Amino acid sequence: MFPPTRLRSCLPVMNQMYKPRLRPHRPFRQTSTIQTKSFNTNANNKTKWLNFRAIFTRWMPLGSVMYVGWCYIRASIDYEVSKVEIKFYEMFPFRVTSRLWGKMAACEIPVSLRSFVYGTYIRMFSVNLNDAAVTDLKYYKSLSAFFTRPLRDGARYISAAPCVSPCDGVVLNCGPADTDKIEQVKGVTYSLEEFLGENKWLKRKDESYYNSLLKNKENILHQCIIYLAPGDYHRFHAPCDWTATFRRHFSGKLLSVNPWLAKLIPGLFTVNERAVYVGEWEYGFFSMTAVGATNVGSIEIFKDPELRTNTKGKRNRVNELELGQVCMSKGELFGQFNMGSTIILLFEAPKDFKFDMAAGDKVLVGQSLTKVARQMTR
């Protein structure tokens, strides 16, 4: 009907007329690509929880919180923790996290943020700032400086008793320690020999480790364990007039020494890092031990500048030092923690030595430890 030449001339016009109405065909390959991308996105989200970094950034913090919460529940119902759970808890890198926390705490805080940061800390841990030598929060350059703040003059009264409290804190346990197994809290014990180590500071020897410590065989050992909470005054003082002759530093673990956790882990004080100072006082043997804890990697002793705690290396190493004759007066500043921890006093005294406190009591620096001494000072 139409010649071929005429049809060829009309094709360009028809193409322009029908071009807007025609939709391009979407190939099946594009649809499959979109589905593959969504699948790959879900796969990437899953691998974020399975890679090596996730172990430290997600699983370990989450597992720590869940495990500590579970331990708290079990402690409230007096349930005994198994050895497997204790080993699992000890596997967490508390020494590394404590070193990181120490570096963070030493960082200088801008002046504009100091009031907010320290004010929040004061409200969280009920800090009594009225006892501090400097009450202006902007004075403290870092959290570490705020933790180790000194007391103002007259904030603590040093009792005339022979032995007084070396620090502010809560008494975990106090009383006679007449066996090699000493009670760290009610029903939970630790080994005396594992805690102090080999008796190298005394020339007298005995088959019984306990008897080798006593200068007078009619006396017995007494102990006082005081826990320093994060809101307490973080420095500690000499509890009596005594002479330190030997120091032994155990580079152990840095597990928490919170009272409820001390009920769960037997021998907690024998596995944690600690600095043991041994000497004599008026009744014979006397020792004062500063025990490290989680985020308490730094223990400073002012008369022992060579002491270095929470350093890299093997955990089970032991460093010893002969101090000679280091005399300390009652109430004299001895050292400080960068966070709350524990002070343990183990000393020789007569059998009728009685403490004027009980487990759970709050004590302050310089407070009398004995009932007899309090009656004599009246």
For the annotated catalytic residues, the residue numbers are: 168, 237, 341
Question: Residue-wise over 99-109: b if at least 16 C-beta within 10 A, else e?
Answer: bebbeebeeeb
Give the C-alpha separation, 213 to 199, whole Å.
8
CB 372 within 8 A of CB 354: yes
Alpha helices, DSSP H, located in the chain: 4-18, 28-47, 52-54, 60-76, 83-90, 94-106, 111-125, 143-147, 192-196, 209-213, 259-262, 268-271, 371-377
Question: If you write DSSP's letter for every residue of 268-326 in order, what string do you get?
Answer: HHHHB-EEEEEEEETTEEEEEEEEPBTTB--EEETT-TT---S-SS-TT-EEEEEEEEE
What does DSSP assign to residue 285?
E
Phi, psi of 39 (to 5 degrees): -65, -40
Alpha helices, DSSP H, located in 55-110: 60-76, 83-90, 94-106
- CA 48 to chain centroid, in Å, comes to 30
Instruction: Name residue 71's amino acid.
Output: C
